[in-house]
Amino acid sequence: MTETVTVSGEGKQIVIDFPSLGEALSLWKPWGDGKRRTEIAAALHETLAAAGLCLELRVQGKPVAMLGGEEMSGLALRLLSQALR
């Protein structure tokens, strides 16, 4: 990652704000195929939910993914199976 990433938290919510969608998606690069990235996201979601935590990924302050809580959601998660092939 070449640009600044901001991490903040309040209560049980963790927020990671990326300067670009490409930077956010680069988190998943170590897991090369869409199936594996989806499995990793699901496991992370379940772990966060079990701990009562929520992780929100943002790009320039706009939410693009939510893990933990009731359900996974967001544009970035839908792109996981397509991006970084």
The type of residue at 34 is G
For residues 79 and 84, the model is more confident at 79
pLDDT at residue 50 is higher than 70: yes
So where are the chain's domains? 6-79
- Which of 9-18, 40-49, 58-67, 75-84 shows the lowest per-residue confidence on average (mean pLDDT)? 75-84
CA distance linking residue 5 with residue 47, whole number of Å: 23
What dihedral do alpha carbons 61, 65, 68, 72 form, nearest 10°? 150
For residue 16, the cross-strand partners are: 7, 57
